[in-house]
Structure 1
Amino acid sequence: MTPETLPAATPPRDLELTIGPAAHGGHFVARHEGRVVFVRHGLPGERVRARLTDAGEKAKFWRADVVEVLEPSPSRVPHFWAPADALKAGARGRLPVGGAEFGHISLAEQRLLKAGIFSEQLARLGGMDRDVTVEVPANESTDGLGWRTRVSFSVAPGGRLAMHPHRSDDLIPVQEMPLASAAINALRLWEVDFTGADRVEVAAPAAGGPPLVLVIPSAGTHPRTLARIASEVGAAADAGAGETVSVAAWNPESHELTRLRGRTWVREHAAGHEYRVTGAGFWQIHRSAPEVLVNAVLQGLDIQPGERVADLFAGAGLFTAPLADAAGADGHVLSVEGSPGTSRDARKNLFAAGQVEVVQGRVDRVLRSRESRLDAVLLDPPRTGAGRVVVDQISAAGPRAVGYVSCDPASFARDLAWFREAGWELDTLRVFDLYPHTHHMESFAVLRRP
């Protein structure tokens, strides 16, 4: 064989690395012979043995998981959940479950890391330097557990609830979810045979009330199978929580929602308002997030009676209702939401507020069809952000202030750069740790023109 036809050298499976700074996405940056390696489950300054999970000789960077700590950081703590513990999983030659990738880090250090990540994204993508402090909800638990009111599971062969490792199609059965609320764990869904389902989503209202188990069936699943699943869910919940549980089936392709037991929605409460959230409709997953974010929005935008306000990517109306209260009967609040089912929830939740106009459709298309001026705009886009078209449309509407709720610092920073190009300045920025033991964070910003 000539040198040109020799196979490329196979990278070593395990590497000994020194962990560098945190990067957005739950990774830490290390280097091996000049190549960047994005490592999960480490901490800055640690010396570790990391197992490659994604590597190629021509790849710009590699990915790896820590499987052994040679020189630990003072901020490393024992992981609270064995299936998500990378060291235990690595010792068995397996990958850890995703969803608790910061569980090996003290909570105080997690928040410092998140502040640094947010600042880095602002500088790199938003073109501005800004120190960030991460706020913690007043009633957050000292261990950072039990905060999720919504959890999504896959279904393993044999019908048991399971979760995926990061960037993997593997399925790992689970018997608990420590980040989930007590109301979800008390349902004992781990005992149910979900054969016939691809995925299971669970919602338990923070203020109490019947939880909803949403079953996403496999193709061709017979209605009798769904009825059996609903019966088993009810029996497990009765034995565990002693509370009525609702069960529904959801077809993501046809958007068909079928009631199997109880009702197809849950009742949520926030800022003095009651909300109906149907099926797979969006709601903040941290038990304190609705109150925390509504208070931040009202304080930051300071809506006055009679003002015209737009609530974009409005969901079921979490922010629309208190914005309507502030604008008063002489004001006008436009609620724009793309999901038909969630927009229907908004109509039900806001039917008594005559100053609210609910429009279902893509935000850019709705704004394109209107030329009215606005006094204030609030947007809460998905993780991908609002995009340049929407940023320009908001700017053209001439509001005195824009409030931006974000769950992703990278997309927020990109949108912020476009706002700044259009003459806006970042006034208020608040970052909240509403996802302890994960790399995720929530933020609220107020933008104003000079």
Structure 2
Amino acid sequence: MPQRPRSGEPRRGRPERRGGSRRPARRTGSDPAAPGSMVGTELVLDIGAVAHGGSCVARTEGRVVFVRHTLPGERVRARVTDGTRTSRFLRADAVEVLDASPERRTPACPWSGPGRCGGCDWQHTSAAYGRELKTAVVAEQLRRLAGIDWTGDVEAVPGDEDGLRWRTRVELATGPDGRAGFRAHRSHDVVPVEDCVISVPQVRATGIFTERFEAGITGVDVAVSSDGSATAVLLPHRGEVPGVLESVTAGGTSLDFEVSARGFWQVHPGAAPTFVDEVLRQLAPRPGERVLDLYCGVGLFTRFLAERVGHSGAVLGIEGDERAVSDAQAALREVPQARIERSDVRRAEPLVERHLGGAADLVVLDPPRTGAGREVVQQIARLRPRAVAYVACDPSALARDLAYAADEGYALTSLRAFDAFPMTHHVECIAILVPAERG
């Protein structure tokens, strides 16, 4: 379950750095001076359905326009941010709302909006309506890419308070004036802020939003542990990165993990226990079973699964990121039935042969945003597990991989979606697959 680009997106799968180097400010997309560029052009648009990625869909002269800072049913004046007169589609920001949705509200964050912090997509509505938008996106992606009619709802994660004050880890970059901030949407520009209203109060209490950092400091990460203590790491960091203690209670068991302050951990306090509970409930691991945990990150699922299969079972976690592997190996040092290997997941079969005897009763699959892909899905199917738990942070990649799984004889039996990143377009899904003859 374990992240992503500087615009405040949550970190998934293997840790990735955002804002770790000072690069010249530039806008991605079309060059405004390029021949035929439409950047800066203003259009009056009627806003249609929500789209995957935090925008809504409008049309002009037969072309699709993906418009940020809007809600379905609104009429807005939008300014094009990317595209030319020959582009298949345009991107735009709503700079004036002419006819507002009844779901629109004043953003809790004064730094959200066109040209400002790019971390939140839905500050201009409630967390509850944001979940309705995410539900529509998940359903549309599953229907379009996998032919699956999903009738569920995106669920709030325990501890949600209308989408605010939940984020326990933030990554900021520093601007030319030495102030820390977040990237603007699809940009390297740094937007200084005085607070981040989706982060827990301890982040602001560190003083990172008011401090002026010296030349050479390109960014700062802050991690708040389960006990509420905050650790700040200046970038570039030299030497050993501090560890942060994280505690998780799930499936009737409480376990502690020491995770690097720059490593991966779920940023919503309710996410890790919710996801582990769901995976354990659905897979129902039995003593003596063999389990494969692909893209295992810091070993969260690996360790809980090892508790369930006991000393007569075996759990193999495979992860490609060096820092995550180090954290996972430390967490599992005294759990002999579990083993963590650093490897490309696509080359996991020799490791499965060596440590699990070439078979697996259960598989947990928790890839980064790009998904697992056909090769990995085929590799899993060859093991013929009795059940697979796919933990996904991108509904489009999930839907594609579910279609691949169907080709390999695995059917979807359960899918729940969770709002682990309120105020953003991100959504976490847990899908359960079994051999089709049992589905």
State the TM-score, normalized to the length of structure 1.
0.85
**Equivalent of residue 400 in structure 1, options 377, 382, 386:** 386
**2:263 and 2:56 mapped to 1: Cα distance?**
33
Relative contact order, higher structure (CA 8 A, sep 6+): 2
2:127 alignment counterpart = 107
Shift of 1:190: 1.7
1:281 alignment counterpart = 263
Q: Match for 1:405: what amino acid?
A: V
**Equivalent of residue 221 in structure 2, options 201, 208, 211:** 201
SS of aligned partner of 2:104: coil
Shift of 1:135: 1.1
The Cα offsets for residues 288-326 of structure 1, whole Å up to 9 and x where unpaired, read as: 111111101110111011100011111111111110111
Shift of 1:12: 6.8
The Cα offsets for residues 72-115 of structure 1, whole Å up to 9 and x where unpaired, read as: 000001111111134xxxxxxxx121111101012221111100
The Cα offsets for residues 232-263 of structure 1, whole Å up to 9 and x where unpaired, read as: xxxxxxxxxxxxxxxxx1xxxxxxx514xxx6
**Equivalent of residue 190 in structure 1, options 209, 224, 243:** 209
Q: Match for 1:427: what amino acid?
A: T
1:237 alignment counterpart = none
Shift of 1:169: 2.3
1:15 matched to 2:43? The reply is yes
Shift of 1:35: 1.0
2:170 alignment counterpart = 151
Shift of 1:368: 4.5
**2:385 and 2:244 mapped to 1: Cα distance?**
35
Shift of 1:369: 4.6
Q: Match for 2:345: what amino acid?
A: V
Q: Match for 2:231: what amino acid?
A: L
Alpha-carbon contact 1:11-1:57 (below 8 Å) kept: no
The Cα offsets for residues 316-348 of structure 1, whole Å up to 9 and x where unpaired, read as: 111111101111110100011111121111111
Q: Match for 1:175: what amino acid?
A: E
1:386 matched to 2:379? The reply is no
1:266 alignment counterpart = 244
1:57-206 aligned at under 5 Å gives the runs 57-86=85-114, 95-141=115-161, 143-194=162-213, 195-206=215-226
**1:413 and 1:17 mapped to 2: Cα distance?**
30
**2:350 and 2:148 mapped to 1: Cα distance?**
30
Task: Compare 403-412 and 273-282 and name the one that shifted more.
Answer: 273-282
2:333 alignment counterpart = 351
Task: Compare 191-200 and 319-328 and name the one that shifted more.
Answer: 191-200
Q: Match for 1:378: what amino acid?
A: V
Could you say if the C-alpha distance between residues 17 and 159 of structure 1 is closer, same or farther in structure 2, counting changes exceeding 3 Å?
Answer: same
Work out which of the two has the higher radius of gyration on C-alpha atoms and give 1 or 2. 1
The answer for unaligned runs of 5 or more in structure 1 is 1-6, 87-94, 218-248, 250-256
The Cα offsets for residues 377-406 of structure 1, whole Å up to 9 and x where unpaired, read as: 001111111111111111101100000111
Task: Compare 163-172 and 57-66 and name the one that shifted more.
Answer: 163-172
**Equivalent of residue 293 in structure 2, options 292, 296, 311:** 311
Q: Match for 1:297: what amino acid?
A: V
Alpha-carbon contact 2:413-2:434 (below 8 Å) kept: yes
2:412 alignment counterpart = 426
The Cα offsets for residues 159-187 of structure 1, whole Å up to 9 and x where unpaired, read as: 11021211122221111111111111111
1:363 matched to 2:382? The reply is no
The answer for unaligned runs of 5 or more in structure 2 is 1-34
2:62 alignment counterpart = 34
SS of aligned partner of 2:279: helix
Shift of 1:283: 0.8
Shift of 1:126: 1.8
1:295 alignment counterpart = 277
**1:410 and 1:440 mapped to 2: Cα distance?**
11
**2:40 and 2:108 mapped to 1: Cα distance?**
30
1:45 matched to 2:69? The reply is no
Alpha-carbon contact 1:78-1:104 (below 8 Å) kept: yes
**1:270 and 1:12 mapped to 2: Cα distance?**
48
Alpha-carbon contact 1:368-1:393 (below 8 Å) kept: no
Aligned CA RMSD, in angstroms, stands at 1.5
**2:273 and 2:40 mapped to 1: Cα distance?**
49
**1:381 and 1:34 mapped to 2: Cα distance?**
36
Alpha-carbon contact 1:276-1:316 (below 8 Å) kept: no
Task: Compare 123-132 and 110-119 and name the one that shifted more.
Answer: 123-132
**2:75 and 2:177 mapped to 1: Cα distance?**
40
Shift of 1:10: 5.4
Alpha-carbon contact 1:258-1:264 (below 8 Å) kept: no
SS of aligned partner of 1:258: coil
Shift of 1:280: 2.2
Q: Match for 2:135: what amino acid?
A: A
Q: Match for 2:122: what amino acid?
A: F
Q: Match for 1:205: what amino acid?
A: S
1:374 matched to 2:360? The reply is yes
Could you say if the C-alpha distance between residues 131 and 258 of structure 1 is closer, same or farther in structure 2, counting changes exceeding 3 Å?
Answer: same
Number of residues of Structure 1 aligned to a counterpart in Structure 2: 393
Q: Match for 2:91: what amino acid?
A: R
Shift of 1:11: 7.3
Alpha-carbon contact 1:382-1:407 (below 8 Å) kept: yes
State the TM-score, normalized to the length of structure 2.
0.87
Shift of 1:127: 2.5
Shift of 1:13: 1.2
SS of aligned partner of 1:197: coil
Q: Match for 1:153: what amino acid?
A: L
SS of aligned partner of 2:348: helix
Give me the identity figure in percent: 43
**2:201 and 2:36 mapped to 1: Cα distance?**
51
1:412 alignment counterpart = 398
Q: Match for 2:129: what amino acid?
A: E
